[in-house]
């Protein structure tokens, strides 16, 4: 089959199984857009800003496990995509971003819309490529997908100069079904000796704790994790990124850990004698002060990326490998071992944990006359029966969502944890809704975050994406205000959101349904209506919430897991 | 501790900047870095000298290994190895200084490779510390120093190859 570069690119995406291409045209990619025009196999989604394209592809990838694919033009198209690329990079999300580039003979001449896309994105991609010859296009794309989706996943940029896609140069094309790279061989299986050693330590624990992260989801290992945890009867916690891998409603689950984690999860971390870390990277939001981190624990760490191991916290038994494979092997070893965990010690440990749970650390004022953000999330959980896809922006609303929406299934909680990118939520929800057209999808956001990619409301109209935008409108950059209250003696420097638009009218201007809710009693009816009467419409729910609400518990910078600041302490001047 | 890390790198455009970028982005220090082709046209070899506590060196080697263009690497300082660096140094020499530089060059087994009425240029090869010692011993004005950076290789049967 003789094809031009532009045609090869599109045909390749089809052969690779790509369903959606999120993009925005421009000079350097016009040949590719012409090839897109002539086919209907790969569906192109036209966003309103390249950042939206990257987040939408990212949301699609997080919800499906398949790589998200983006196409942008050179220069400003590429630079606009950088935030989304970095967002995916920090959370290890598989993505392939194709950037147009000026023709090869102009590279380096400060040509119109030229930027060094490979140079700019180098620090925030897993790998990137510049394709110099049309003959290299298909194989380079194959390498890009291979690198993006294997090992520790991540975004890969392929920079394609305009002449490489020229319509007049046609060459033979055959889909490269597989590729090998001598310099890239991700480890799959954990070392048997390490696994046996880990099993011994796991079984010898008196006060064990399982700490899981995004790696479990990336590895699709929820089943293996559940088997592992049930078979041992140990308590389990998760990072923000790992929520949903283990059912939140299961009694062994202690809630999220870390800066805004639950009292019981953090206390159990502090007191545990064996810590089993699975696909988690000991982020500073999770560990607090590493000097005070799990002072008594022997630490076992399963991770596919050797550089995650002993990076922030020294571990005792590292196991490099894919979570799914390693857990399968550990489960098998535990079964054949015939020895059981120390039941007496474990009972005592659970009694202690129950005492911590009595603190009821997520309490809030349920009788408030103002809408509490926590209340909205509880109602959302009820109305959607815990079965919605929830995307989020960044701020207090994100933490409330993580604490109050109990995720029982993997890949339902879609948020930017590592980079913390405001503006992520709405475009990410587009990717999710496209992947699962009939499923309920809600975007939890704040009045500040939503304005960072609000233009995508137009995309939602064009493709009829019935997302429910849950705007927890506290008229503040709440998370910033909270830090200013607690750490800067309430000097609210530039955290007040003045001159807000009328979100109802704004939603309507884009052709959607807008509703403002100011009274707690209207919260549930409004949500119900959004998911029933307006099932097929995008509904922008503008909840006017209590401005003074804070996220608790909170571990402040430099503190350990046992030094949480709780909601119950707020009025007591213990800050 | 000082470490000499040898890397076999895909001979691709931009591969070197991935290595250099890693060090600046993560705040690791580079004392010297040399890069040149090998007998295999698809591979370059980098010798990189860095300093840091063991945990940092461990991270450095892990992060380098993670770069897709890095085919293989070895920390030479973990075993017996040979280290060489070449230096050319131009000195201002007049009167007695001329004899002194000549003598010193002989002691260090260097060579004077260029001579004018007022200058000597000396070529010297050895470990980095030997070159440092030579510079320290010179007490004539130095006009220019150019060092190649360290190249290293393991002793004995061990070799870094694909
Ligand atoms: C406002 C705000 C507040 C936050 N507060 C908290 C908080 O209170 N608590 C909290 O937990 N986080 C919090 N975060 C998120 C935090 O910044 C980190 O993003 C998060 O803790 C990292 O989660 P993780 O350790 O699961 O790592 P991830 O980023 O999910 O990394 C996954 C790890 O798994 C490994 N991995 C990937 N694939 C595999 C595989 N197949 N097999 C084996 N290993 C694999 C990777 O190498 C990596 O080490 C907050 C973020 C924001 C924006
Ligand atoms: C792009 C970007 N800029 C700045 C920040 C810093 N930041 C973190 S949370 C936050 C406030 C978010 O406000 P809002 O969306 O209203 O959410 P709230 O905290 O009020 O729920 C800011 C400014 C960020 N995370 N991302
Ligand atoms: Mg707000």
DSSP character string of A72-105:
E-STHHHHHHHHHHHHHHHTT--EEEEEEE--GG
C-alpha to C-alpha distances, A83 to A55, A67, A74, A418, A422, nearest whole angstrom: 9, 18, 15, 12, 10
> Phi/psi zone of residue A291: left (φ > 0), alpha (ψ -120 to 50 degrees), beta?
alpha
Can you tell me the distance from the alpha carbon of A215 to that of A226, in angstroms, rounded to the nearest whole number?
15
A293 is catalytic: no
- The nearest alpha carbon in chain A to B162 belongs to A182
| A478 C-beta closer than 6 A to ligand 2 | yes
Whether residues A306 and B55 touch (CB distance < 8 A) is answered with no
**Is the Cβ of B27 closer than 8 Å to some Cβ of chain A?**
no
Residue A408 in contact with residue A386, Cβ under 8 Å? yes
Whether residues B17 and A122 touch (CB distance < 8 A) is answered with yes
pTM over the 0.90 mark = yes
Can you tell me the distance from the alpha carbon of A229 to that of A202, in angstroms, rounded to the nearest whole number?
11
Residue A332 in contact with residue A326, Cβ under 8 Å? no
Burial class of residue B91, CB neighbours in 10 A (0-12, 13-18, 19+): buried
Mapped onto helix, strand or coil, the DSSP state of residue A501 is coil
ipTM for the complex?
A: 0.95
Specify the DSSP class assigned to residue A369: S
Q: Which chain B residues are closer than 8 Å to A127 by Cβ?
A: 68
Could you tell me where the beta strands, DSSP code E, fall in A162-297?
A: 170-172, 208-212, 236-238, 253-256, 274-278
**Is the Cβ of A181 closer than 8 Å to some Cβ of chain B?**
yes
Residue A288 in contact with residue A313, Cβ under 8 Å? no
| A420 C-beta closer than 6 A to ligand 1 | yes
| A478 C-beta closer than 6 A to ligand 1 | no
pLDDT in tens, chain A (575 residues): 899 999 999 999 999 999 999 999 999 999 999 999 999 999 999 999 999 999 999 999 999 999 999 999 999 999 999 999 999 999 999 999 999 999 999 999 999 999 999 999 999 999 999 999 999 999 999 999 999 999 999 999 999 999 999 999 999 999 999 999 999 999 999 999 999 999 999 999 999 999 999 999 999 999 999 999 999 999 999 999 999 999 999 999 999 999 999 999 999 999 999 999 999 999 999 999 999 999 999 999 999 999 999 999 999 999 999 999 999 999 999 999 878 999 999 999 999 999 999 999 999 999 999 999 999 999 999 999 999 999 999 999 999 999 999 999 999 999 999 999 999 999 999 999 999 999 999 999 999 999 999 999 999 999 999 999 999 999 999 999 999 999 999 999 999 999 999 999 999 999 999 999 999 999 999 999 999 999 999 999 999 999 999 999 999 988 999 999 998 887 554 43
Angle at B117 between CA B112 and CA B118, to 5 degrees: 80
What separation in Å is there between the alpha carbon of A542 and the centre of ligand 1? 30
Residue A107 in contact with residue A433, Cβ under 8 Å? no
Asked if omega into A451 is within 30° of 0 (cis), the reply is: no
**Is the Cβ of A108 closer than 8 Å to some Cβ of chain B?**
no
Angle at A474 between CA A560 and CA A477, to 5 degrees: 55
| A480 C-beta closer than 6 A to ligand 2 | yes
Q: Residue B4 pairs with which residues in a beta bridge?
A: B49
Can you tell me the distance from the alpha carbon of A74 to that of A68, in angstroms, rounded to the nearest whole number?
19
What separation in Å is there between the alpha carbon of A550 and the centre of ligand 3? 11
Q: Which of A119, A123, A307 sits opposite B59 (nearest CB)?
A: A307
Q: Of the residues A142, A162, A298, A324, which is catalytic?
A: A162
Nearest CA residue ID for atom 2, ligand 2:
A422
């Amino acid at each position: 089959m003789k094809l031009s570069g532009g045609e090869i690119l599109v045909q390749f995406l089809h052969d690779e199984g790509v369903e959606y291409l999120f993009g925005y045209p421009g000079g350097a990619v016009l040949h590719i857009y012409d090839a897109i025009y002539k086919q209907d196999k790969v569906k192109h989604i036209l966003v309103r800003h390249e950042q939206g394209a990257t987040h939408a592809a990212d949301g699609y990838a997080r919800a499906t496990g398949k790589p998200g694919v983006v196409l942008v033009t050179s220069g400003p198209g590429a630079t606009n995509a950088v935030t989304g690329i970095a967002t995916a990079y920090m959370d290890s999300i598989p993505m392939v971003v194709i950037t147009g580039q000026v023709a090869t003979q102009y590279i380096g001449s400060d040509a119109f819309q030229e930027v060094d896309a490979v140079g700019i994105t180098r620090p925030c991609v897993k790998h990137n490529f510049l394709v110099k010859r049309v003959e290299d296009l298909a194989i380079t794309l194959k390498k890009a997908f291979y690198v993006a989706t294997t090992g520790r996943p991540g975004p890969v940029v392929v920079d394609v100069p305009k002449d490489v896609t020229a319509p007049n140069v046609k060459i033979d094309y055959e889909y490269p079904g597989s590729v090998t790279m001598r310099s890239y061989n991700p480890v799959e299986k954990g070392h048997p000796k390490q696994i046996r050693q880990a099993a011994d330590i796991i079984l010898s624990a008196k006060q064990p704790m399982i700490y899981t992260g995004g790696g479990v989801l990336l590895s699709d290992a929820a089943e293996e994790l559940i088997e592992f945890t049930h078979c041992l009867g140990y308590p389990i916690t998760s990072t923000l990124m790992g929520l949903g891998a283990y059912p939140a409603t299961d009694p062994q689950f202690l809630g999220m850990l870390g800066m805004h984690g639950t009292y019981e999860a953090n206390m159990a971390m502090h007191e545990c004698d064996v810590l089993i870390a699975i696909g988690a990277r000991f982020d500073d939001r999770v560990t607090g002060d590493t000097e005070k981190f799990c002072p008594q624990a022997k630490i076992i760490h399963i991770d596919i990326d050797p550089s995650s191991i002993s990076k922030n916290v020294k571990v005792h038994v590292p196991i490099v490998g894919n979570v799914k494979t390693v857990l399968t092997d550990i489960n098998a070893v535990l079964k054949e071992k015939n020895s059981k965990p120390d039941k007496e010690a474990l009972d005592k440990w659970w009694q202690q944990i129950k005492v911590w749970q009595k603190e009821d650390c997520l309490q809030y004022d349920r009788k408030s006359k103002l809408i509490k953000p926590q209340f909205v999330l509880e109602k959302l959980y009820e109305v959607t029966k815990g079965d919605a896809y929830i995307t989020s922006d960044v701020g207090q609303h994100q933490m409330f969502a993580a604490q109050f929406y109990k995720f029982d299934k993997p890949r339902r909680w879609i948020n930017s944890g590592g980079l913390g990118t405001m503006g992520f939520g709405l475009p990410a929800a587009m990717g999710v809704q496209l992947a699962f057209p009939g499923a309920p999808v809600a975007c939890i956001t704040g009045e500040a975050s939503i304005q960072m990619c609000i233009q995508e409301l137009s995309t939602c109209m064009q493709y009829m994406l019935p997302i429910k935008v849950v705007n927890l409108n506290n008229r503040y950059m709440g998370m910033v205000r909270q830090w200013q209250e607690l750490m800067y003696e309430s000097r609210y420097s530039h955290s007040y959101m003045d001159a807000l638009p009328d979100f109802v009218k704004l939603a309507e201007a884009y052709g959607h349904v807008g509703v403002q809710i100011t009274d707690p009693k209207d919260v549930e009816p409004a949500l119900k209506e959004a998911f029933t009467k307006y099932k097929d419409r995008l509904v922008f729910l503008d909840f006017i919430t209590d401005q003074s609400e804070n996220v608790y518990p909170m571990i402040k910078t430099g503190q350990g897991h046992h030094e949480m600041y709780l909601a119950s302490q707020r009025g007591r001047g213990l800050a | 501790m000082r470490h000499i890390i040898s890397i076999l790198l895909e001979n691709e455009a931009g591969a070197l900047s991935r290595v250099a970028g890693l060090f600046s982005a993560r705040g690791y220090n580079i004392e010297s870095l040399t890069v040149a082709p090998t007998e295999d046209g698809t591979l370059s070899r980098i010798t990189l000298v860095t300093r840091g506590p063991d945990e940092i060196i461990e991270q450095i080697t892990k992060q380098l290994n993670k770069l897709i263009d890095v085919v293989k690497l070895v920390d030479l300082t973990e075993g017996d190895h040979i280290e060489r660096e070449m230096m050319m140094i131009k000195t201002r020499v007049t009167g007695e200084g001329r004899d002194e530089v000549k003598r010193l060059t002989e002691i260090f087994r260097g060579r004077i490779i260029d001579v004018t009425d007022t200058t000597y240029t000396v070529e010297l090869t050895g470990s980095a510390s030997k070159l440092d010692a030579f510079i320290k011993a010179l007490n004539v004005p130095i006009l220019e120093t150019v060092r190649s950076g360290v190249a290293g290789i393991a002793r004995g049967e061990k070799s870094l190859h694909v």
